[in-house]
Chains A and B, each alone.
Chain A
Amino acid sequence: MKIPVPVKVAALVVLTTLFYTYVGQLVPQKEVPAPEAIKIKQDATPAELAALGEEIVNGKGLCMTCHTGVRAPKLDGIAASAGNRVPGMSAFDYLVQSLYEPDAFIVGGFGDTQMPKLDEPPMNLTDDEIRALVAWLQAQGGTPTITMDTPIGAEAAGAPPAAAPGGTEG
């Protein structure tokens, strides 16, 4: 039986489309949820904050997309090295500044990375979430000390300099 041309063409369209759909199923399947503000209890301990910070680092913060040592420096041991980055600036202030004003200081060997300010769109992290990130950074080679009462960001502006929570040097 001779198969009509339109039927053959239709079969080719369907089969080719099925093939590409199949290729699409072979790659890793990851669904990325829309980020939601993480509610942090007011009496969270620094260790609890650091655990939440890790969640943000690997999730909505997208930190590890760049901080692998290629585009941006690795974050291993940052708690120890943060105090030596900018003369006269404490490790805590440096960590807070690097999240609110990422371009204020660029680590040597890395170009203008255009890391977004984390409290502004598109990242839009809350001050509490940034506290959690600071706690996680303090935990990289040190002991987290920041609490929910530590003023940072807009809260700290105009206020007397935050008392160096200490402990970031390990």
Chain B
Amino acid sequence: MSRRIVIAVVLGAVVALWAAFEISVWFDQRMAYESPLRGAEAEATPREQGILDERHDLEQRNEALPYEEAEYRAFPKVGSRVAVWVLAQLHLLFAAFVLAVPIFALIIEYIGYKTGDKRYDKLAYEFTKLLSTSFSFTASFGAFLLFMLIALYPKLMNYLGNVFTPTFLPYVALFFFEALFLYSYYYGWGKFSPRVHLFLGLMLNLVGTAIMFIANAWLTFMMSPAGISKTGALISTWEAVTNYTWMPINIHRIIANVAFGGSVAAAYAAFRYLQSEKAADRAHFDWMGYIGNFVAISAFLPLPFAGYWLASEIYAYNQTLGIQMMGGAFSWLFIIQAVLIGNLFLAANWYLWMGMGRIAGAERYQKFIKYLLVVITLCYIVWATPRSVLATVSEVRAMGGSTHPMLGYLGVMSAKNTAVNILILTTYVSFLLYRRSGKIATVPWARAGNLVQFLIFAGSAGIVIFYGVYGYFVPAEVRIGFSIPQVMSVLLAMVLVTILDVFLFRNAKKVGETNWGQMPALSQYLLIFIAISFTWLMGLMGYVRSGLRQHWHVYGVVQDTSPDAFTPTLGFATQVVSVTVLIFFAFIGIVFWLASLSGKQGWEPKGARRGAAPPEGAADLAPSRARVSSP
């Protein structure tokens, strides 16, 4: 569209808006009631006078009233809770992304520094490009959330302010430092010595983590308050900060943020891959997507273990809270979670298997894929099987209860813990096969090494299945403890096999190169699907963590007496989560678009495109443009 048409359209729109406003004012005046007996000397109609009198009466009544602190204020249409819920989730999603990307960008940059491979440096910079806009969105949503909380929940905010006042100043100070380190890390790329730049990245990570720890203190206090008397009076802010669930949430969030950030960064790479026309660009973004997904899944594998710890701390703090989570109002939420996590595992494995197609010499491992798929599918089915099934009255009578006589056995924790541990092991095997594609071990103990690795896997799977089956024959309190050896055996197996594999494939013979940029489009949509699923999962688990308090703002201390004190249906909660996810992706689309602008060719004036010389002074005003138009 030409510039003249754009200006004409904008001017036309302004004139149309002004005209519409004038017409509406005129129409309003015409529609106002006018007394037929109104004389020319009358200042106001009886109606106008009535309105003025009413207003005057109201002012007088209000003047007579004493000032009262508002407990709640209402938000139109959707209500205060949904408004704050959506804003808090959007703020957290952007905050998670902004905290996660510097973690793996720094690691990748460090690898580049140590190996001298410039590709890693370029990749780390590509990830960092996503940060500046995201940081602004995080701060904007954070401010928006704070204003909404103060406006809609003044009494609660007053209480939290009393408890946490000493944390506010450090939080703000750290935020300034965060801005300083983030922008110096981004804009200082290539401007400092590598060590100074790495130091800036390290400081960015430390400051970001400290900010998250402070914010986590506020929200975990609401779930597991500490440092206060029975009536809620503050005894110790430090105890309020270091409450029962603070550290488990800190750890859980760091890991989850990395998983989420990796997946969104991979989605960005996939988006750019799908739009790239040059082979070099496709190769770069294919590699970036692979690394992003690798980061996401590597963090995702230990995430359930951090989740166990958090859940056990919730139980330890207050068993009623724990039971509400797993056996009460929120128990069905974990079936939705199972569908999400099952999809994530399936998509992640599928992407890896497709990735093996771009490595020459990977054919020998592809025969294992069908077995891995069978195991993953079975685990997915077990995990998504509910304890109680939705059934008609006659079906319930036929079953002798709401639990299916056979499938009901798959609905208990013994089966689910077993399924998720095997799922993690299987995904790790997919990673291992991918890693080995195109390589042949040359060390003399290769055969023995492979055998030991196989035995470690078999031993770990055996331990997981043994405790899974044994769990059916012991009381609940004994069974709960079985998750620990199951988890530990899987973690240990992954660590031992990785260490062995590093030595096994040292100086390995290369039988084929990885042809980056040779992935089908479907694989890139899988990466985007993984990012959407991660985002949705974050929203869902954010809801359960916060919703668990039910009709308490601060559990057992400050009760929610607002009209929103009820716990909504899971169907409604998932609708709110979905709306949040859609808004987030609309904003992250802007982030992607802005990040992609940096790689685009500069704007050229029309004359320059036709071969004319750039306008005088162009070099001073816009050096990049002048550079592009120069021969």
Contact = CB atoms under 8 A, between A and B. Distances in A.
Contacts of B570: 24, 27-30
A113 interface: yes
B574 A24 contact: yes
Contact of B532 (A17, A28, A124): A17
- For chain B, give the interface size range: 35 or more
Closest 7 CB pairs of A and B: A24-B574, A34-B565, A121-B556, A34-B551, A114-B319, A32-B567, A29-B569
B536 A17 contact: yes
Interface in B551-569: 551-552, 555-557, 559-561, 565-569
B225 to A, nearest CB: 10
Given A65-B324, A122-B555, A13 B582 contact: yes
A70 interface: yes
Given A20-B340, A30-B569, A12 B328 contact: no
Contacts of A14: 582
Main secondary structure of the interface of B (DSSP, over half): helix
A21 B578 contact: yes
Interface in A21-38: 21, 23-25, 27-35
Contacts of B333: 27
B327 A65 contact: yes
B318 A32 contact: no
Interface in A89-139: 109, 111, 113-116, 120-124
Contacts of B552: 121-122
Contacts of B489: none
A29 B329 CA distance: 10
A116 B318 contact: yes
Interface in B532-587: 532-533, 536, 550-552, 555-557, 559-561, 565-571, 573-575, 577-578, 581-582, 585
B271 interface: yes
10 contacts: A8-B525, A17-B581, A24-B336, A28-B570, A29-B571, A30-B569, A32-B567, A34-B551, A34-B565, A113-B319
B275 A122 contact: no
Given A14-B582, A32-B566, A121-B556, A20 B327 contact: no
Interface of B: 230, 271, 274-275, 318-321, 323-324, 327-329, 332-333, 335-336, 339-340, 386, 390, 475-477, 525, 528-529, 532-533, 536, 550-552, 555-557, 559-561, 565-571, 573-575, 577-578, 581-582, 585, 589
A80 to B, nearest CB: 25
Contacts of A29: 569-571
Given A23-B339, A30-B329, 15 more contacts: A9-B274, A9-B528, A12-B525, A12-B529, A12-B532, A13-B532, A16-B532, A24-B336, A27-B570, A28-B390, A28-B570, A31-B568, A114-B319, A116-B320, A121-B557
Given A20-B340, A62-B324, A31 B569 contact: yes
B529 A24 contact: no
A12 B347 CA distance: 14
A99 to B, nearest CB: 14
B566 A17 contact: no
Contacts of B340: 20
B476 A71 contact: yes
Given A28-B332, A34-B565, A62-B320, A20 B528 contact: no
A8 to B, nearest CB: 8
A5 interface: yes
B323 A65 contact: yes
A157 B320 CA distance: 27
Nearest to A16: B532
Nearest to A4: B275
A21 B582 contact: no
Contacts of B386: 27
Interface residues of A, number: 41
Nearest to A29: B569
Given A71-B323, A116-B318, A122-B320, A31 B567 contact: yes
B396 to A, nearest CB: 13
Contacts of A34: 550-551, 560-561, 565-566
B533 A27 contact: no
Contact of A70 (B324, B476, B581, B582): B476
A107 to B, nearest CB: 13
Interface string A31-49: 1111100000000000000
Given A31-B566, A65-B323, A70-B476, A20 B571 contact: no
A108 to B, nearest CB: 12
Contact of B556 (A25, A70, A71, A122): A122
Contacts of A122: 318, 320-321, 552, 555-556
Contacts of B556: 120-122
A34 B551 CA distance: 6
A34 B567 CA distance: 7
A131 B390 CA distance: 35
A66 interface: yes
A9 to B, nearest CB: 6
